[in-house]
Amino acid sequence: MERPAWAPHGIDLSVPSVSRMYDYYLGGSHNFEADRAAARRAIEAFPGLPKIMQANRAFMRRAVRFAISQGVTQFLDIGSGIPTFGNVHETARAASAEARVVYVDNDPVAVAHSRAVLADDARTDILAADFRDPLSIVGGDPVRRLLDLDRPVALLLVALLHFFDDDDKPGEHIAGLRDALPPGSLLVISHAATESLPGTRERGNRLSDVYRSGGATLVMRTRAEVTAFFDGFDLVEPGVVPLPDWRPEAPVEDEDPIVHAGYAGVGRRA
């Protein structure tokens, strides 16, 4: 298999990556055949998956604009993936010239491509780190250099937590990040779910099997389980709701019902 010039050495091109599969769903070009094959199997198991990913990105952009409207101009986006059109720094910068963004990912392709895209952006950077090591994130050079942790930060865990099962203790890692952030900080979460849309549980199970066959975890959680991740944060209205229902900017009834297969919410640290 020919290795593209932008692909870091040392990664196995035959093993699919969840961030590169996400890039494929969104129409990106920084993915390999293994990623595309796995993504096609995922779409076969759960038709409408790209629409869900687009709804997820639309929620992320609404949440970023909400943060700016609340005076929060610092963003820490963990599990950021490969930067595509309409990412956090572009959305935030369009709303505030003061916005600063640190992306965090553990996929070498996502990190390498982000560094290339952000090379000339003094207010945005990428940190190679893992969500399961909060101290390495808040102590990382880009965070210490670009973010003032004495001022509110918007912590984005968008389409991330469903890749960690309960044995990974995601709630504990969120708590570690929460305790490093000052009052007024925001937590932005979106999460895969099937309970809010009739008839999707079986498709969700098939989708989880596809990810598992590629070596990744995909956990569907209930609204109550997603809400529990906001421990120590006060949920802002409308709470934890299906993706398109969080502060919509267009009539929700115009959306394909499949995009309700996921929950989203924003909380504020008291």
Other Cβ atoms within 10 Å of 70 Cβ, number: 15
Q: What is the pLDDT of residues 197-248, one digit of tens each?
A: 776 788 999 999 999 998 999 999 999 999 999 999 999 999 999 999 999 9
Return the minimum-mean-pLDDT range out of 57-61, 114-118, 119-123, 226-230. Answer: 114-118
Cβ burial of 134 (10 Å; 0-12, 13-18, 19+) is: buried
The DSSP letter of residue 101 is E
DSSP three-state, residue 129: coil
> What is the Cα–Cα distance from 159 to 128, expressed in whole angstroms?
18
Residues 6+ apart with CB under 8 A from 120: none
Beta strands in 162-261 (DSSP E): 186-192, 233-235, 241-242
Strands 262-269 and 241-242: antiparallel
Q: Give the C-alpha separation, 102 to 74, whole Å.
A: 8
Torsion of CA 40, 45, 46, 47, to 10 degrees: 60
- pLDDT at position 251 is 81
- The neighbouring-strand residues paired with 187 are 155, 267
Q: Is 179 helix (H, G, I), strand (E, B) or coil?
A: helix
Instruction: Indicate the range of 3-12, 13-22, 147-156, 218-227 predicted with least confidence.
Output: 3-12
| pLDDT score for 196 | 73
Q: Which amino acid is at 154?
A: A
- Residue predicted with more confidence, 96 or 110: 96
All residues at 6 or more sequence positions from 113 whose CB lies less than 8 Å from its CB, including other chains: 6, 30, 82, 83
Confidence of residue 3 (pLDDT cuts 50, 70, 90): low
* Identity at 206, one-letter amino acid code: R
- CA dist 13 and 35 (Å) reads 9
pLDDT of residue 30: 83
Is the bond into 238 cis (omega within 30 degrees of 0)? yes
Q: Hey, where are the domains in the chain?
A: 18-269
* Structure confidence at residue 250 as a pLDDT band (50, 70, 90): confident
Architecture of domain 18-269: 3-Layer(aba) Sandwich (3.40)
Confidence (pLDDT) at 5:
67
Model confidence, pTM: 0.93
Q: Are strands 186-192 and 233-235 parallel, antiparallel or unpaired?
A: unpaired
pLDDT, tens only, 52-99? 999 999 999 999 999 999 999 999 999 999 887 789 999 999 999 999
Q: What angle do CA 207, 235, 142 make, to 5 degrees?
A: 75
Residue 1 has pLDDT above 60, yes or no: no
